[in-house]
Amino acid sequence: MSHQPTDYERLAGVYDQGRALPLDQIGEWRTVLRNYLGAGGLRVLDLGSGTGLFAEALVSWFDVSVIGVEPSDAMRRRAASKGVPRASYVGGEAERIPLKANTVGCAWLSTVLHHIPDRARCAREIRRVLTNGGPVLIRNNFGDRLDNVRWLRYFPTARRLASQRWPTVADTAAAFATAGFSMEALHSVPEIIAPDLNAYYERIAVRANSTLTLIDDRAFEEGIELLKQEAASDSGKVPVVDRRDLLVLR
């Protein structure tokens, strides 16, 4: 198994192909997030913003602006090229957020926790830049809640890695507690990942998921072949729905 970090400079060009979520497929997120962003007027920190996958959703759904902080130059360029209004991007890391104190009303972290080596230090930085009472919204799969991630069924090596690499809910809450945050809610939110299993196969085959880049090629090829065979026998055209968690801290 590879232990090299994911090369996001290389991955940026295909990332959206394997990870994008059109707005009409993630409407449940709008419903859930309305409880935290519906009042509008907020400046949202998108920490580890990648190619800006959720910036368009947040700006379109709510009266907010988004400042993305992302260490990968290629990811930031890709995000900026989309021209989403009221969304901008700067280079930076979770443990050293390049923003002034008390300048954002909400922190949004989407599938980024496992890339942050020092989550307690990240929590302190978020506490510094966040206005009093602002929520931390963490969209993630957690290492103790893997059953609703369909692609893990085909890649047992990746599942074992995910159980170790993805923090648990308790571990995440404990790290943020060191900065004074407490857990307010945990939602399980359905997402339409693909319109059918064949489209799902094409999405996963891109290998744009960082956990899949860390398993060896043979394990990936065996898993993707299993998925290909299942997709070939599927004629139901049933949407593929995964669930992802939203952990709310305040």
Q: Read off the pLDDT of residues 175-198 as tens digits, 9 standing for 90 and up.
A: 999 999 999 999 999 999 999 999
Cβ neighbours of residue 165 closer than 8 Å, sequence gap 6 or more: 114, 143, 211, 214
Q: How many CA atoms lie within 13 A of 97 on its CB side?
A: 30
Average pLDDT of the chain to the nearest whole number: 92
- As given in the structure block, the two tokens for residue 99 are 């923003």
pLDDT in tens, 205-231: 999 888 999 999 999 999 999 999 999
- Residue 228's Cβ-count burial label (10 Å; 0-12, 13-18, 19+) is middle
Asked if residue 42 has pLDDT above 50, the reply is: yes
pLDDT at 7: 58
pLDDT at 4: 44
Beta bridge partners of 143: none
DSSP sequence for 147-183 = TT-GGGGT-HHHHHHHHHHSPPHHHHHHHHHTTT--E
pLDDT-based confidence at residue 66 (cuts at 50, 70, 90): very high
Compute the distance between CA of residue 86 and CA of residue 106 in angstroms, rounded to an integer.
15
Complete edge-to-edge strand list for the sheet that includes strand 106-110? 87-90, 64-69, 42-47, 106-110, 136-140, 240-249, 183-194
Asked if residue 12 has pLDDT above 70, the reply is: no
pLDDT at 139: 97
pLDDT in tens, 74-119: 989 999 999 999 999 999 999 999 999 999 999 999 999 999 999 9
Beta-carbon neighbour count of residue 57 at 10 Å? 20
pLDDT at 6: 56
Nearest CA to 34 among 61, 67, 72? 61
- As given in the structure block, the two tokens for residue 229 are 């065979």
The CA-to-CA distance between both ends of the chain, in Å, stands at 37
pLDDT at 86: 97
Is residue 91 within 8 A of residue 73, CB to CB? The reply is yes
Nearest CA to 192 among 153, 239, 145, 159? 239
Q: Burial letters for 136-157: b for 16+ Cβ neighbours within 10 Å, e otherwise?
A: bbbbbbbbebeeebbbbebbeb
What topology does CATH give the domain 8-144+167-193+243-249?
A: Rossmann fold (3.40.50)
Compute the distance between CA of residue 152 and CA of residue 76 in angstroms, rounded to an integer.
28
Residue 98 DSSP class: -
- State percent of the chain over pLDDT 70: 92
